[in-house]
Structures are given as structure tokens and as C-alpha cells.
Amino acid sequence: MLKYAVQRLFWLLPTLLAMALVTFLVMHATPGSPLDPVAEGANPLSPEAQKNLAEKYGLDRPLHEQFVIFVAKAVRGDFGNSFVYKTRTVGEILLASFPVSLFLGSMALALAILGGVALGILAAVYQNRSWDYVSVGLATLGVSVPNFILAVFFIVLFSLLLPLFPTGGWGQPREWVLPTITLALGPMGIIARFTRSSILEVIRSDYILTARAKGLGERLVVFKHVLKNAFIPVVTLLGPMFAAVGTGSFFVESIFRVPGMGRFFVESMTGRDYPMIMAVILLYGAFLAIMNLIVDLLYGALDPRIRY
């Protein structure tokens, strides 16, 4: 296992380098620039001022030189200054916002796993009965309704009509409840549907029929024999799902005034903030690769027949 993990981490470096190159080329091929007066997030500047800023940030150099300089600095953890937030470096912004998004995403994913697995088990065990219809209905609702609609609905219901939670903020645990639930409902519905289909497939296997024929109780059959094998397709989802919710959600963080990374990423895209875009893309890529590695290692724990 250790050798396999080291090999995967070794391949992370060329993967991130290729991702950085593709992002860099696409970013510079997109019309507009951070110095363009018509670009959103950039102040109108005279041609002379644009020329001076281009020299300051190195944007007047050939593309291959700009990329080499970026990679050399990124290896040291230096992504430069933000073009939109000119008084702050990209590292300072990520250091302040990424832990918030990661904490919110971790709470949301934990809630999604607990709720999704529970709904999936109920739907599979009580197939074509009332619990199945309720579970599938809730899962479909969570997947189909956008999170910004859910956010507004929860604020109206639980902050205005029933003043149980504040409308936003991040200073107290009470302020974490609504954004966590809002962010968790979509992944919860996906996990519930995959759990249901996976359990229904496993529960019809020959070894499950044998366990029942030996007189094992239904609860023991489900929790000891069915779930462990049924979780493998579900675990596959968790890597990219955690990378998605753990790196920030623009709508949820904006509506609930959460000081996370999602807002900065969207503003960097609209303002052509090249250093911020590159840093966030690389952070997401590294996070996704590590999560997928953890998922692959969990396969062997769930099914000993799987070898690395």
C-alpha cells in the first residue's frame, strides 16, 4: 500500500504541471486581460498606465517566459499579488479563505454521507414501499433544486418565519447550520440514489441468499454482509464530491456571507486575475488527486480481493 501511495503522489507533480500549462494557455487565449478597461473588476487605465503595469507584472514577456517564471515561483509557494485585490497576495487570500471553505465542505459532506446512506438503506430494504418512495423523493428533491434556491428558502423559513438561525455570518456555530444543510442536500441526494441501487444489486447476490438461508437475521445480513460490498461504488463518488464542496461554493458562501474561497474564484475569473485563477485551479487539482488516492486506498479496506 505504501509503495502504491508513493507512486501515485509522484505522478501528482507532472499532473499538476500539465494542468498548469493547459490553464495558462487557455487563460491567455481568452479575450480580455486584467489591464483591459472593459474587463470586469479592472479600473479604466490609460495606455501608458497599462504598459507600465504590464512591465511590473511581467505580462509584456513572451508566454513561455511567463509560464517558466510562474512555475519557478509556485514551487516555492509564491503565486504573486492578486490583480483584483492589489494590496493582498494570492497566498494571503487562500490562507484566510481555504480553511473556511474546507471546514464548511467537511461538515456538508459528513451530513451528506450520513443522510444519504440512511436514505439509501431505507429505500433499498423497503423497496417499492412507503419508505422507498419517501427516500427517493427526498433524494430527487435534493439533486434537482439548485442550492441558491434552497438557501433563500431556508433563510425565509428558519430566519424570518421561524427565527431559529441567523441569516448569515461565520462567527458562531449557529451560523454554520443553514449553509451546511444547503450545501449538503445535493450530494446527499446523489449518495442516496447510488446507495440504493448498489444495495439492490448486492442484496440479490448468491452469498446474500446463502446467508439468509442459514438463518441470519435481516439486520445482520444488511449491516454485516451487504453494506461493505455496496459501499464501493458510493466511495468512488466521495473523492470528487469532497473536492467540489471543500474548495468553496460561490452561491452558498455569498448568500450566507461565508468568507470562503468560492467568492474569490468567481471574482478572479471575471476580473482576469491570472495569479488567483492559476492558484485556485492548482489547489483544486491537488486536492482532487489526493482525495482520489484516499478513495483508491479505501477500496482495499472494503474489499480484500482488491489489490494495489
178 occurs within a structural domain: yes
CATH number where 159 lies: 1.10.3720.10
Rounded CA separation 291/132 (Å): 31
225 occurs within a structural domain: yes
21 occurs within a structural domain: no
242 occurs within a structural domain: yes
29 occurs within a structural domain: no
Query: Which cell numbers in the block locate residue 11?
Result: 505522478
252 occurs within a structural domain: yes
Print pLDDT tens along the chain (308 aa). Answer: 677 777 777 788 888 889 889 988 888 887 766 766 444 444 556 677 777 777 777 777 888 888 888 888 888 888 888 887 877 888 898 888 899 999 999 999 999 999 999 998 888 888 888 888 888 888 888 888 888 888 999 999 998 888 889 988 888 889 999 999 999 999 999 999 888 888 888 887 777 778 778 777 777 777 777 777 778 778 888 888 888 888 778 888 888 988 888 878 777 877 788 888 888 888 888 888 888 888 877 777 766 666 65
Domain extent for 145: 99-260
Alpha carbon of residue 220 to chain centroid: 34
Look at residue 56 in the predicted model and tell me its pLDDT. Answer: 76
Look at residue 40 in the predicted model and tell me its pLDDT. Answer: 47
Rounded CA separation 277/289 (Å): 18
* Alpha helix ranges (H) inside the chain: 2-29, 47-57, 63-75, 90-125, 130-144, 147-155, 177-203, 206-213, 218-220, 227-246, 250-255, 262-270, 274-302
Phi first, then psi: give them for residue 65, nearest 5 degrees. -70, -40
Burial class (CB in 10 A: 0-12, 13-18, 19+), 186: buried
119 occurs within a structural domain: yes
| DSSP state, residue 81 | B
17 occurs within a structural domain: no
Split into its structural domains, the chain has a count of 1
Cell numbers 447550520: residue: 177
User: How many degrees, rounded to 5, is the angle at CA 184 between CA 104 and CA 222?
Assistant: 120
Query: Which cell numbers in the block locate residue 264?
Result: 474569490
